[in-house]
A and B are shown apart, each in its own frame.
Chain A
């Protein structure tokens, strides 16, 4: 699966006539001390001494399920000049932005971003530093890139303060959370995030990942990385259900949520199931004024990579049709091993007009790019 990209001429997908927008690029730091300019001495010392402490057993946030590839990256993504994948802006330009004629790329920094750390105060300090780092090292140097406002999501108030700091800065196009929060994302402890994001006009993205501190399945811890990958879609299902049923979209009707790298084939069945059982259980949730599926249709977008792979291509059309063609956003997941090549990712069974919207039209509207 991790095939080294053949050398090809530069080429933009012909259907991307409204622009090519990649909503999932993962920039990395060159070295752990890259954030130091924006960390106080106390938190520099903390980072150096105790490091990232995720809600699982391994130091430095290294994953409890070893990846399928080193750093989960494409083998050919290590920059020739040294450093780790997606740590070198010039090589990212060469291998991604220029290669495919990308118009906009959205940065989603992952660990060591401090998100989901056991220590909320440290997480808040790290979020500020990661956001400054995105500005200094990426978005101010490359006008095609947009940052995500990294927030210490398990502290709703501190997250809202970070969003307020970034509101109105065109370098940022969304707020970034991970899909595994310490409690279901619809709970009121997270509402300050949604309130601030709605006020700032920023969508809130949930990127697959993070460790909630609970078992990764509702029946205990699985064994394999293969399972962990599936579980990303499953935790995202729980989060969509929570956001809808807790009434987040009733309270914040203009809030836009983007599920990134969570897959999307499950969206129709989650919506159907909620609607079906809501008919018997609606007495419990009188705060919902619409059918659950209507909130999903109105307020949530989904990125493509990794696209589920039906046996027959017409079934991807069914799934996308049921979700809504205006809610699907192209993502490459560069530089990860399961990268989706813009030229190959979207099935030819999808009409050119719809591919145009997925490649760029939908994201341009969503983010106001």
Chain B
């Protein structure tokens, strides 16, 4: 086990830690096409898919052939065997949380989104969870109808292998808005963190000044989406109202966080009359309730110690491979510059502390 060990990591990849109980909080099973999901739909929706020629709803957030979408050696990512062969077995990962990104959350028709998202979650359960006991999964939520989202939590929460709920960072309305609160209440009721993953539902341009030309800009804009979303969760009072709720930011980058909060907290000192329910400094709320995956980290190695010093907490970062996205090469899955002293928490401890359901059946 990692606990208490000092692992010299200089110049070595994660495979040197093989078998030491790493928990990967962000792996992306890839749905190959709609035909893979139709077995999990009722007759009406199966018929709709066929009759309307809905062959794929792959997400524009990750254009299938773009370099970021899949590493050259991770192009096959639609079967559990791919994950086992490329990641779980060679790196000795103890548990991994599946976070599918197929475009079911983006569908405009709320009934269709509900049906497709149910199918996606059932596909994940049958074709991934049932086939490898190391896997856990996220309840992907059809967020454009709050009742549907709550219903999906209620439907799947009894299966303890679903360890969190999952939404995309850019939705139709900011995440903190009150109409979403029944979803957060359901998360709390079932002990599920809310995972917010990079990606847009494309209800709005990916920047507040319109549509950019280049995918590089679009991918960069995830960091702005996370800032706005976190700002919304704080100012609307979600963190204050649901102190037990953990928010997990996935594939968010890390380095934007504190500079954003430095401004928000300063503003709050002058405008807190507007949001009196925010009765603690925003940075404190975030340190208590917000966690982030560490891929990508978005900093050159030489500044990582200073960035971590600003973060001011060893409890917030969780390791993720982000399989099969291309964030690093080979097995360099720990951001260069991470101090070895942080590894026990980064690779395992923080995930166990964040996810009550991961702790079930795991030695402390």
Contact = CB atoms under 8 A, between A and B. Distances in A.
Contact of B255 (A212, A234, A241, A273): A273
B263 A233 contact: yes
B129 interface: no
Contacts of A280: 67-68, 326
Interface string B160-174: 000000000111111
B33 interface: no
A220 B204 CA distance: 7
Contact of B68 (A182, A223, A277, A322): A277
Interface in A182-228: 182-187, 212-227
A303 interface: no
Interface in B189-247: 200, 203-217, 219-221, 223-225, 227-229, 231-232, 235-236
A285 interface: yes
A268 interface: yes
B225 A218 contact: yes
Contacts of A226: 235, 264, 267-268, 271-272, 274-275
A246 B212 CA distance: 9
Interface stretch (B44-52, B106-114, B298-306): B298-306
A89 interface: no
A238 B271 contact: no
A296 B326 CA distance: 25
Contacts of A166: none
Contact of B223 (A183, A273, A275, A283): A273
Contacts of B177: 220, 223
Interface residues of B, number: 72
Nearest to B236: A223
A326 interface: no
A306 B204 CA distance: 28
Interface residues of A, number: 70
Contacts of A319: 259
Contacts of A218: 170, 200, 204-208, 221, 224-225, 228
A220 B215 CA distance: 21
B283 A311 contact: yes
B260 interface: yes
B271 A225 contact: yes
A213 B68 CA distance: 30
B142 interface: no
Contacts of B268: 226
Most A-side CB within 10 Å, residue of B211, B220, B299: B220
B326 A272 contact: no
Contact of B298 (A180, A272, A315): A272
A2 interface: yes
Given A216-B208, A277-B296, A284-B215, A269 B264 contact: no
Contacts of B210: 181-184, 212-214
B235 A1 contact: no
A269 B299 contact: yes
Interface in A288-340: 306, 308-311, 315, 318-319, 322, 337-338
Contact of A239 (B170, B204, B209, B275): B209
Nearest to A283: B67
B182 interface: no
Given A184-B212, A218-B170, A2 B270 contact: yes
A242 interface: yes
A68 B269 CA distance: 12
Given A234-B227, A277-B68, A184 B207 contact: yes
A212 B283 CA distance: 30
A259 B222 CA distance: 21
B299 A220 contact: no
A229 B267 contact: yes
B283 A220 contact: no
Contact of A269 (B173, B204, B256, B271): B256
Given A214-B204, A218-B221, A234-B208, A276 B298 contact: yes
A133 interface: no
A223 to B, nearest CB: 6
Most B-side CB within 10 Å, residue of A187, A214, A276, A285: A276
A160 interface: no
Interface in A161-189: 179-187
B17 interface: no
B332 to A, nearest CB: 13
Interface in B47-72: 66-68
A68 B170 CA distance: 27
Nearest to B67: A280
B353 interface: no
B174 A217 contact: yes
A216 B267 CA distance: 17
A238 B221 contact: yes
B166 to A, nearest CB: 15
A256 B235 CA distance: 36
A265 interface: yes
A54 B160 CA distance: 51
Contacts of A61: none
Contacts of A2: 270
20 contacts: A1-B269, A182-B210, A214-B207, A215-B205, A216-B208, A218-B207, A219-B174, A223-B176, A223-B235, A230-B260, A231-B228, A242-B209, A263-B259, A265-B263, A268-B259, A269-B223, A273-B298, A280-B326, A284-B214, A310-B262
The 8 tightest CB contacts between A and B, nearest first, are A1-B270, A265-B259, A217-B228, A308-B262, A269-B255, A238-B207, A309-B266, A219-B170
Given A214-B208, A318-B310, 10 more contacts: A214-B210, A217-B174, A219-B175, A222-B232, A231-B208, A270-B220, A273-B298, A277-B219, A277-B220, A315-B306
